[in-house]
Chain A
Amino acid sequence: MFDSLSEKLQNVFMRLRGKGRVTEADVNEAVREVRLALLEADVSLPVVRDFIGRIREKALGVEVLESLQPWQQVIDIVYKEMVALLGQQQAPLNVASTPPTIVMLCGLQGTGKTTLAAKLGTFLKKQGHRPLLVACDIYRPAAIKQLQVLGEQAELPVYALPEDQRKGPPTIARMAVEYARQHANDFVILDTAGRLAIDDELMDELGQMRAFVQPHEVILVVDAMVGQDAVNFAEQFHKRLALTGFVMTKLDGDTRGGAALSIRAVTGVPIKFIGTGEKLDAFEPFYPDRMAQRILGM
């Protein structure tokens, strides 16, 4: 989509060689290129501003050496800063001291929550756990059936109430946790309906679910193709639910996934996993360095 950032910075600094110290004008030009690259990668504007502020400061100190090109040094600063912001290390799942560990999934419509429930279940099962999937989406047509079909594919049990037993999602979640205790399921994965962060009623419902079952993980499931709005809804979800982590899905496409940086920056909450396809094994731990390279198009 854009020529690699390093190429552009190379051009900026080309005429600089041997001029001594990098001037403020050179840095400004370099910073403009970084800004453009981040915006093209869907990093939210306020986060971009903050990020390039830091880069600018560090880049001003760079000396022009014959051995190391200034553009290489700037790229290095940008890359390291981004990895640091993305969380440096891999963040593991929080686990209950007394099982079951309860994982609540939430997010906007169509981001991949139901698929993720089955992927996470598959991942945990491979590690020898006994996860239970729970159908708390009572709204979307065939949402329960979707989780049941995925549960069957993954050979995982699915807790769902029959249609005639109408209960609210927080109550379903509580009943499922009770069921898990009785059936020795050490993980409970709650699939919830997609919702907008500005939908007060449905956000309250999640708040109540959180209060009812006190999950060890409250994970925001985010579509990696998301744009500038990421900061808005992530902040809202975090404010109302105190998120413990998030997951980026659909990273198998050609999106840069700059929202990872935005969300991490506004919530301070770690990215735990990524989704890389529709199949149940298309699920990986999150690596900050790989994500930084992707966002920067390296």
Chain B
Amino acid sequence: GGGRGVDEELYEELEASLIQADINVQTTQRLIGALRRAVEEEGIRSIQQAVEALKREMVAILEVGDPSTMGLKEASLPPTLYLVVGVNGVGKTTTIAKIAHMLQSRGKRVILAAGDTFRAAAIDQLAEWAQRTGTDLVRHREGADPSAVIYDAIRAARARSVDYVIADTAGRLHTRSNLMEELRKIHRVAERELERVPDEVLLVLDATTGQNAISQAKLFMKYIPITGIVLTKLDGTARGGIVLSIADDLKLPIKLVGTGERLEALEEFNARRFVDRLLEV
């Protein structure tokens, strides 16, 4: 039968797809280079095989660390603490509600810590999610010290024998050093009270974000030890390819993806599924 084989035009098309998915130019060129080598070495002729080889390279980049660390960590000594951070509006608070919902449906008990004491009605937003999911909430008044809220939540969890604390934080741009110092303090206070580092420090990234996500990841990592990424808003048309560059450069694993505004719209990250979606036309 007719049909094209692997030619320059195909490489160009694939390169364009990768760039339009927000994978940065450097990672794109690395991937296309690897594809060219694979085509050469394996004697690949068909487009289908070439695309498959490209996907293989992408999955390899995304599988950071060993598979056993992919899920969310659970502490042997409760409460397990998850700290959720990120820039403004990416979906931190909603993701927290979704994680709480997931844990509760597995029979776990959860306390939410209203650590965003800054944004207008942020506490009310989390309170509404706590009510909808039937989780406990620890809150202080607006403007209070977020470290103190999280400290209280950890103590409340111990007192009430609750398994998990999930702490919300105010959205902050990674370039605001005073706000980033505040985050460092939150982390320190939590660590002191827990007598270990928080079990997960999740950086939430919005899939619609472009190259700036790299800067976000780099700077958040500089201030606190991020353990993984949650990629939200994958239900839209954005492909979220920038996480490939982040995995490539910074070796940060992607743990969860958000696929909507409802409580159920949370999935464990699956590299193969992500790559299939990224390249589908």
Contacts and interface: CB of A to CB of B under 8 A. Distances in A.
A293 interface: no
A41 B89 CA distance: 21
A141 B125 contact: yes
Nearest to B131: A141
Interface in A10-36: 36
A85 interface: no
A109 B122 CA distance: 15
B174 interface: yes
A226 interface: yes
B210 A142 contact: no
A191 B147 CA distance: 32
A148 B235 CA distance: 29
A240 interface: no
A227 B175 contact: no
A138 to B, nearest CB: 13
Contact of B120 (A42, A153, A229): A153
B98 to A, nearest CB: 13
A255 interface: yes
Nearest to A44: B20
Contacts of A1: 211, 215
Interface residues of B, number: 42
Contact-residue bracket for chain A: 35 or more
Contacts of B235: 196
Nearest to A115: B120
A228 B22 contact: yes
B210 A42 contact: yes
Interface in B82-111: 87-91
Interface stretch (B31-39, B63-71, B155-163, B236-244): B236-244
A79 interface: no
Interface in B17-55: 19-22, 24-25
**Pairs of residues from A and B, 8 with the lowest C-beta to C-beta distance, nearest first:** A227-B210, A110-B89, A42-B210, A141-B128, A229-B238, A146-B121, A149-B120, A142-B125
Given A45-B19, A109-B89, A196-B235, 9 more contacts: A42-B211, A110-B206, A145-B124, A146-B124, A196-B237, A250-B87, A252-B173, A253-B174, A254-B175
Interface of B: 16, 19-22, 24-25, 87-91, 118-122, 124-125, 127-129, 132, 173-175, 206, 208-213, 215, 233, 235-239, 242, 261
15 contacts: A1-B215, A109-B89, A109-B233, A110-B91, A146-B121, A196-B235, A198-B236, A198-B237, A223-B209, A225-B209, A228-B238, A229-B208, A252-B175, A254-B175, A278-B88
Interface of A: 1, 36, 39-42, 44-45, 108-112, 139-143, 145-146, 148-150, 153, 196-198, 223, 225-229, 232-233, 250, 252-256, 258-259, 278
